Amino acid sequence: MKKKLNLQFITVGVLTLILTFCLMLHIFSSSIINGAVDGLKRETDISVTLLENRGDVGVLDMFKNTEVRATLLSGEGIVLYESDELLQHELGCDFSEYPEIQSAQTEQLSMAERISDITGLQTYYCAKKLDDGRILRLATDINPAAMMLKKSIVPVLIVIAIILAMAVTASVLMSRHIIKWLTAKLETLENDPYANVPNELESVANAAREQYIKRRENERTRREFTANISHELKTPLTSISGYAEMIENGMARDEDIKQFAKNIHDESGRMITLIGDIIKLTEIDEIAETVSEEQFELLDLCEIAQEAVSSLEINAKRMDITVRFVGEHCTMRGDKSQLYEIVYNLCDNAIRYNKKGGFVTVSVRRDLDKAVLRVVDTGIGIPEEHRERIFERFFRVDKSHSRKTGGTGLGLAIVKHAALCHDAVITIKDGIECGTEIRVEFPVKTSAYNES
């Protein structure tokens, strides 16, 4: 049975390799042919321009001893010039019956493909009519190897289709045989000590199902994150591009240029802040995947919080907000940069969304086996219906206010991920009089393992 399963996997693997090989053949041959055709079109346009500007048929001598043949014809299709020295006997011949010559009379640029009577190779022709009625035709032979690759794809795919049909048939028959074998085995296990095999299989299936759901959720989150980043970056870039274009084209008045420059500077700063938050979020995700709790260091949450609050004092004064810090030493194990980001972003949000003349209180204290961080503000508050979503990436309760204050919509997402890395619990409630209180409870771990 094991050999049959291995054979089935090998068959699928071989078929996959063959299909991949055929796809690469198709891509490779198409790229060669398309490159040659595009080059032929460009050379035709350039040559027609040179002929019309200089009026000298001698400009076509540049095609002598090259892979491209140049032929100049009269409006009636009579050969007037041929760059290939071996084809000089065609001078004066009538080429008016060739499809690319006929099409050039009405089309801006005509193309044709056929086996050349001279070389016997697949040849592409490109013709264009000049202003004086003459017609210029360029021709090039396609690499025989590329044509061979292109022609071999269909037969190979037919063979693969036959093999695939045989493999599917064999797989169906094999699956039926395996199911029949498993059913028979399970019927004989009623009084066997290994009768719990079906339950074990069910647990494996459940684990696989959970893993699949988690992977799908991660993929969805990644797609949403990418779409949101594109949107968030597009908005400031559009503004910067618009202001810069007005200045460049002289549409901006002298008295407006200074304001436009300020707007460009503000939007650039917003982009830099956004990119910085994205980098922080990515770093936290990487730490969560690579760093275990045993690698956390012994830290004082009070010192980290005080450092984060001090770094925001200038911003608070500029917005007329008073920040107060109250704390007691609280030793725990954790990652310093992540703990700093938690305090910094919660405090920064409390300042940004506060009222003029408002207060922000940050406190750290020990509560039995927990280290508790509280950030209380007198700001605009968070409506009950939005509290479940504020930790989503790029979610904003008030988008217009967020843009005015320079928020990126990633601050609380950073808080959430950093808190998860420390098994912390976040709760949100209304402030005593107004505003919001956010509480983060960290389980205190003073050794490499959780204290009991």
Res. 403: pLDDT tops 80: no
pLDDT band with cut points at 50, 70 and 90 for residue 375 = very high
Q: Can you tell me the distance from the alpha carbon of 146 to that of 297, in angstroms, rounded to the nearest whole number?
A: 62
pTM for the whole structure: 0.43
Same domain, 191 and 73: yes
**pLDDT value of position 141:** 82
Based on its alpha-carbon atoms, the radius of gyration of the chain, rounded to whole angstroms, reads 37
Res. 363: pLDDT tops 60: yes
* DSSP 8-state class, residue 142: P
Same domain, 323 and 283: no
Checking 401-410 for CB contacts under 8 A at 24+ apart, the result is 401/353, 402/352, 405/352, 405/353, 406/269, 406/270, 406/273, 406/352, 407/349, 407/352, 408/232, 408/270, 408/273, 408/274, 408/277, 409/228, 409/232, 410/274, 410/277, 410/278, 410/280, 410/281
Q: Can you tell me the distance from the alpha carbon of 338 to that of 419, in angstroms, rounded to the nearest whole number?
A: 8
Q: How many residues does the chain have?
A: 452
Q: Are 398 and 407 in contact (CB under 8 A)?
A: no
3-class DSSP assignment, residue 380: coil
pLDDT digits (tens, 9 = 90+) for 130-163: 988 899 999 988 765 544 555 555 666 676 677 7
Q: Are 63 and 138 in contact (CB under 8 A)?
A: yes
Of 110, 131, 125, 163, which is closest to residue 53 (Cα–Cα)? Answer: 131
pLDDT band with cut points at 50, 70 and 90 for residue 359 = very high
Q: Can you tell me the distance from the alpha carbon of 352 to that of 409, in angstroms, rounded to the nearest whole number?
A: 12
Residue 280 belongs to domain with CATH number: 1.10.287.130
**pLDDT value of position 88:** 86
Of 340, 215, 230, 338, which is closest to residue 286 (Cα–Cα)? Answer: 338
Q: Are 352 and 289 in contact (CB under 8 A)?
A: no
Picking from 169, 195, 221, the residue at the C-terminal end of a domain is: 195
From 15-29, 80-94, 341-355, 432-446, the region with the lowest mean pLDDT: 15-29
3-class DSSP assignment, residue 366: strand
3-class DSSP assignment, residue 330: coil
Picking from 228, 257, 290, the residue at the C-terminal end of a domain is: 290
**pLDDT value of position 106:** 86
Res. 281: pLDDT tops 70: no
Res. 16: pLDDT tops 80: no
Higher pLDDT, 223 or 451: 223
Share of the chain above pLDDT 90, in %: 16
Q: Are 240 and 268 in contact (CB under 8 A)?
A: yes
Q: Can you tell me the distance from the alpha carbon of 142 to that of 45, in angstroms, rounded to the nearest whole number?
A: 20
Same domain, 165 and 152: yes
**pLDDT value of position 196:** 46
Same domain, 174 and 69: yes
- How remote is the C-alpha of 377 from its chain's centroid? 38
Into how many domains does the chain fold? 3
pLDDT band with cut points at 50, 70 and 90 for residue 289 = low
Higher pLDDT, 452 or 185: 185
Q: Can you tell me the distance from the alpha carbon of 364 to that of 372, in angstroms, rounded to the nearest whole number?
A: 6
Q: Can you tell me the distance from the alpha carbon of 350 to that of 344, in angstroms, rounded to the nearest whole number?
A: 10
pLDDT band with cut points at 50, 70 and 90 for residue 399 = low
Q: Can you tell me the distance from the alpha carbon of 166 to that of 171, in angstroms, rounded to the nearest whole number?
A: 9
As a whole number, mean pLDDT of residues 233-259 equals 80
Picking from 147, 171, 195, the residue at the C-terminal end of a domain is: 195
Res. 194: pLDDT tops 50: no
Same domain, 309 and 438: yes
pLDDT digits (tens, 9 = 90+) for 21-77: 666 666 666 777 777 788 888 888 888 888 888 878 888 888 888 888 899 999 899
Q: What stretches of 312-446 show up as alpha helix (H) in DSSP? A: 313-318, 336-352, 399-405, 411-421
Written as one string, the DSSP assignment of 215-284 is HHHHHHHHHHHHHHHHHHHHHHHHHHHHHHHHHHTT-S-HHHHHHHHHHHHHHHHHHHHHHHHHHHHHHH
Same domain, 155 and 126: yes
pLDDT digits (tens, 9 = 90+) for 81-112: 998 888 888 899 999 899 998 898 888 888 89
**pLDDT value of position 306:** 92
As a whole number, mean pLDDT of residues 424-446 equals 83
Residue 318 belongs to domain with CATH number: 3.30.565.10
pLDDT digits (tens, 9 = 90+) for 298-326: 899 999 999 999 988 988 998 899 999 99
Higher pLDDT, 141 or 285: 141
Same domain, 114 and 230: no
Q: Are 332 and 371 in contact (CB under 8 A)?
A: yes
Same domain, 412 and 427: yes
* H or E stretch at 307: helix 301-311
Q: Can you tell me the distance from the alpha carbon of 340 to that of 435, in angstroms, rounded to the nearest whole number?
A: 23
Same domain, 255 and 173: no
Mean of the per-residue pLDDT values of the chain: 77
Same domain, 139 and 253: no
Where are the extended beta strands (E) located within 49-121? 68-73, 79-82, 110-115
Structural domain range at position 273: 200-290
Same domain, 273 and 380: no
From 194-198, 211-215, 308-312, the region with the lowest mean pLDDT: 194-198
Same domain, 190 and 251: no
From 98-102, 251-255, 357-361, the region with the lowest mean pLDDT: 251-255
